[in-house]
Chain A
Amino acid sequence: MYEPKWVFPRTIDDSLEALADESAHAIAGATDLAVRIRADHGGPATLVDLTGVPELARVAVDGDTLTIGAAATHAAVTRHDAVRQRVAVLAEACGTVGAPQVRARGTIGGNLANASPAADATGALAALDAVAHARSTRGEREIPVTGLFAGPGQLRLEPDELLTHVTLELPPPGASSVYKKLGQRKALAIAIASVAVTFDPTACAVRIALGSVAPTVVRAEQAESTFAGRWSGVVGEGGVAGQGCRDEVMGLIEEVAAQAAGASSPIDDVRASAEYRTILVRELTRTALEELCLAEPRVSG
């Protein structure tokens, strides 16, 4: 029978010490780990419960930097005012995870550490160019979220390294973002495909992250650079309001969406076929870009 040992650290340093033991595994909301343990009839010999480390649950804004502790729950992130107001894509992504019970327990750190290509928060963080911070008794290092994954379930971290928090630069005023996910139903759904898109009109830049359509969450880099190269020319001085301009913007969006689909490498699984996923990447990207780029400019920030 599976009888894990438990460690209940109160500080990050104590956590790191516990995790230095090879048989130890960090645990917080356990919304995935508990399911896996049940299915496997076993699990790590030692579980290090991070839910008692206040520092890890922090969500805070310092200047233009947003810091989210690894043990911050999806619910806490979704409810945070700065997140809602300035990085809608993250609030929306966290708000589509599972259902209220899962969001109340599941954490940002768990979402990343699971290394699932379908992880909602991970997609949003990838589109926001977030940086993950990992610590061990040997020191601390930073890894861009996009570089955190080697494949499904494979994290580019050492076994004794603890993901402590992520940071990201809040987008400037006027920027906007959105998360588009299609699951098999409207709640309790794992994404068949998702796109996280940010748009900064001043910088003429979009960033597009794709979920559930590759071994890891991926960025659609070619699509992003096509957009960056063409946006200011398409829009010109007068904004997107004119009809001629609108058609041109729609044309650009179509092209960018098609390139995003090209950046995916989906598989068939029990939820959907690769063929459908490819179509969804294009359609979700198109819908996201239309919402962001054709919206009336609004005062924000």
Chain B
Amino acid sequence: MGQNALHPSGAVGAPVRRVDADDKVTGRARYLDDIVLPGMAHAALVFPGVPHANVRGVDDTRARSVEGFVATVTAADIPGENQVGCVDRDQPLLAGERVRYSGDAVAITVAESPTAAREAARAVALDLEELEGVFDAEKALMPDAPRVHEGDNAYLQYRVHRGDVDRGFDEADVIVERTFRTNYQEHSYLEPLGALAVPEDGGTITVYGTMQCPYYVQKAVAGVLGIPLARVRIVQTVTGGGFGGKEDVPNEICACAAVAAWRTGRPVKLVHTREEDFYRSSKRHPMVVRYKLGATRDGRFTAADITIIADAGAYSTLTPVVLFRSVAHATGPYEIPNVRTDGYGVYTNRQTTGAFRGFGQPQTIFADESVIDEIADTLGIDPIEIRLANCLAVGKRTATGQLLEESVGLPETLEVARDESGWLAKRAGESARAGSDGRAEPGGASRPRERFLRGIGVGAIYYGVSLGAKGLALDASGAHLNLYRDGSLRIAVGGTEMGQGLLTVLSQMASDVLGIPVASVHVDHVDTSVVPDSGPSVASRTTLMTGNAVIGAATKIRRTLAGVASGELGGAPDEVRFEKGRALSNGKSIGIEELAELCWVRNINTAEEGWYAAPESTFDDNGQGDAYAVYSFATQIAEVEVDSRTGEVHVLRMTAAHDVGRVLNPVTLEGQLQGGVLQGVGMALYESMKTDGGVILTPDFSTYILPTSLDTPEISCHAIEAPYSKGPFGAKGIGETPAMPGAVAIANAVAHATGMRFTELPITAEAVRLRLAQEETA
């Protein structure tokens, strides 16, 4: 990976091997479904089979005769409140009265095996009065559309209004207006959703599960059981991917298992099949984005007018926070003086939609970055030049009026991606590879049609790190560090490892602060009984927030050790250095393990708490304010080859340049980038969860198309370091951005190759070929 700065000393910045790698390559790592407890029963959900209905009755007579049947749990059996709504309180755990989408659970069956539980679930007879449903967000806005809840289907609205948009368009020499549509993208983490709830002594319950946000789960479980938070302990198991899909949905899974365990008095495991997971889990919001952008002749953006309609599905879930992000970032990473962005969240009788890497932005990015390319084409300006001319930089203001004061590496990401990809030559059609083996040069649209058409395209993005103004109450994180008398360190945190490498970078940070080897550090998965509510592991916030909490606690321990060391060695406590397992002062040194032992002998505490709260952020009624404390930036460039016979788009190479603040671990960073890039490729070309009247037509991995190893392009990654003064070692979040600019970069490359601009994703081979056929006819 290309990198601006090297950090030869210390663990931070070094390619430290993942601390969980050995467990994972040997199969020893214990995921949820690998846990077996004595007396454990298994649960399954009773699905309605229809997307919209009143529930008149639930009859489990036949289920009771299934061999191994234990119990049926209905809404009436929920001891607390039948409610798991995450932001808005609109979502019952069990749909006892009304089914609002095909993934609603009406009841839970419990049996001695998963097979028996499912057989019992199928045997439960539901008396349903079917209702007319609404399956399209735009249709749901019509006055006569069926209502999903009591109020309007358009239940949510945000806006960012700035400057004078009409005057801005008057000043424009060119205006482009288009409507873009994107469909559901499914997270497709490889480990399906699952939970294991265990009733324990003292009226407490422990719930194990695969999840991103144990504190959300704690609240949901306490709510449905009607017991205090202090009696609910959530333990995150090794989590097989999340990408946002395990943000809020585990609340429902864990609450179902908890209710079943409470009712039966037994440990109850609930693990979804892949098809159940497709039905139950949230997706990336399908959005309609109407995008109008004006620019002067010399390529300066004057005004943007944007309308966003997001299909929230049957329940609000995380739509309020996702849509907030869409609206706040809708203009892309550019300074535009006049902005009118209006976003609407709309209920439909479809799958719920929520967090997915990029969090409401990839849909609007598809719009803004496509329109910018069209404007650049119209004006004859290079797409990267027009972006550089308008892009955010230190001293510029975002659409919400926020003045950016530090850590804005966007211009450099554009330049590095441009130079590393060979953009200028390829964009101009002087590719070294062109012309050979019958392949057309890039930009071949105006030339006679060759079979293979090559193109190159760009996408640039920004992402407000952490929760911002709509999530302030959640935006703090804790850590508990315990330095043992032998110099080894155990860390408990509130942020979750879901594959991204958190445990490793936290180990590196603690290692550097205390001068101990990474091998002396152990970080546990989250246990809510150990660390205070640390908010969710989402929004690229975990390395930043949890990292700062760990650094804070480690620094306290270091201060303690420094005091002891200066007493032993001489010199001032604040001049003691910690390196390579030793404390150095006054020209002498002492091993950390000796210091730790001295502390133990002298009854000095070496366990400390860390706590980090995000800086203040604001967002007023017009969407003006300092929406996020800091932003991450990225540019990706796609090179494609289109087979004009079949319509297939082959992505040859992706170049990703990301401003990450500071590289903490180049290997795990590059892994994050590569994986995110491929998710962008999937969104661009393959992934589309098709539905019909609330039924999923593609509920499995043979019909929902994920890229395989053979569909993976060459991926070239480059880290730009524009340090963030409040970040751990200067780092910013990196979770989301890798999956954001790729899809539109590919769309723009296809436009460059074929001259055809697509306003819907994915750009399937069929879509390309049918458009070519239309153009042949025309």
Chain A residues with CB under 8 Å of chain B are 1, 41, 99, 182, 184-188, 190, 192, 270-273, 275-276, 279-280, 283-284, 286-287
The 8 closest A-B pairs by CB, nearest first: A186-B710, A283-B645, A187-B708, A276-B766, A184-B705, A187-B710, A185-B711, A270-B697
Question: Does A184 lie within 8 Å of B686, measured CB to CB?
Answer: yes
Question: Does B686 lie within 8 Å of A280, measured CB to CB?
Answer: no
Report 12 cross-chain contacts, Cβ distance below 8 Å, ordered by A residue: A1-B116, A182-B648, A182-B765, A185-B708, A185-B710, A186-B708, A187-B710, A188-B701, A270-B690, A270-B697, A276-B766, A283-B646
| B706 cross-chain contacts in A, Cβ below 8 A | 185
| B698 cross-chain contacts in A, Cβ below 8 A | 270
Of A99, A270, A286, most buried by chain B (CB within 10 Å of CB) is A270
A sample of 18 more A-B contacts (CB under 8 A), given A185-B710, A279-B769, is A1-B115, A182-B646, A182-B765, A184-B686, A184-B705, A184-B765, A185-B708, A185-B711, A186-B708, A188-B702, A192-B766, A271-B703, A273-B766, A275-B770, A276-B766, A276-B770, A283-B646, A287-B645
Rounded to whole angstroms, the CA-CA distance of A23 and B703 in the bound complex is 31
Q: Which residue of A lies closest to B710 (CB)?
A: A186
Question: Does B769 lie within 8 Å of A276, measured CB to CB?
Answer: yes
**Chain B: minimal CB distance from A198 (Å):** 21
The reply on B296 being an interface residue by CB < 8 A is no
Rounded to whole angstroms, the CA-CA distance of A272 and B686 in the bound complex is 12
Rounded to whole angstroms, the CA-CA distance of A280 and B690 in the bound complex is 22
The reply on B226 being an interface residue by CB < 8 A is no
Question: Does B645 lie within 8 Å of A186, measured CB to CB?
Answer: no
| A284 cross-chain contacts in B, Cβ below 8 A | 645-646
**Chain B: minimal CB distance from A279 (Å):** 6
| B773 cross-chain contacts in A, Cβ below 8 A | 279
Question: Does A286 lie within 8 Å of B702, measured CB to CB?
Answer: no
Cβ proximity bits B209-251 to A, threshold 8 Å, 1 near / 0 not: 0000000000000000000000000000000000000000000
Q: Which residue of A lies closest to B705 (CB)?
A: A184
Question: Does A188 lie within 8 Å of B708, measured CB to CB?
Answer: yes
Rounded to whole angstroms, the CA-CA distance of A74 and B708 in the bound complex is 20
The reply on B122 being an interface residue by CB < 8 A is yes
Question: Does B705 lie within 8 Å of A185, measured CB to CB?
Answer: yes
Of A182, A272, A287, most buried by chain B (CB within 10 Å of CB) is A182
- B residues 743-778 near A (Cβ < 8 Å) are 764-766, 769-770, 773
The reply on B119 being an interface residue by CB < 8 A is yes
Question: Does A41 lie within 8 Å of B119, measured CB to CB?
Answer: yes
**Chain A: minimal CB distance from B390 (Å):** 36
| B705 cross-chain contacts in A, Cβ below 8 A | 184-185
**Chain A: minimal CB distance from B277 (Å):** 15
Q: Which residue of A lies closest to B698 (CB)?
A: A270
Rounded to whole angstroms, the CA-CA distance of A1 and B122 in the bound complex is 12
| A185 cross-chain contacts in B, Cβ below 8 A | 686, 705-708, 710-711
Cβ proximity bits B682-707 to A, threshold 8 Å, 1 near / 0 not: 00001000100000011001110111
- B residues 94-130 near A (Cβ < 8 Å) are 115-116, 119, 122
**Chain B: minimal CB distance from A104 (Å):** 17
Q: Which residue of A lies closest to B768 (CB)?
A: A276
The reply on B709 being an interface residue by CB < 8 A is yes
**Chain A: minimal CB distance from B686 (Å):** 6
Rounded to whole angstroms, the CA-CA distance of A272 and B690 in the bound complex is 12
| A190 cross-chain contacts in B, Cβ below 8 A | 702
Rounded to whole angstroms, the CA-CA distance of A284 and B698 in the bound complex is 26
Rounded to whole angstroms, the CA-CA distance of A235 and B652 in the bound complex is 38
Question: Does A187 lie within 8 Å of B709, measured CB to CB?
Answer: yes
Instruction: Choose one: B646, B701, B708; the contact of A280 (CB below 8 Å).
Output: B646
The reply on B67 being an interface residue by CB < 8 A is yes
Q: Which residue of A lies closest to B119 (CB)?
A: A1
Rounded to whole angstroms, the CA-CA distance of A190 and B698 in the bound complex is 14
| B764 cross-chain contacts in A, Cβ below 8 A | 184
Cβ proximity bits B275-319 to A, threshold 8 Å, 1 near / 0 not: 000000000000000000000000000000000000000000000
**Chain A: minimal CB distance from B453 (Å):** 15
| B769 cross-chain contacts in A, Cβ below 8 A | 276, 279-280
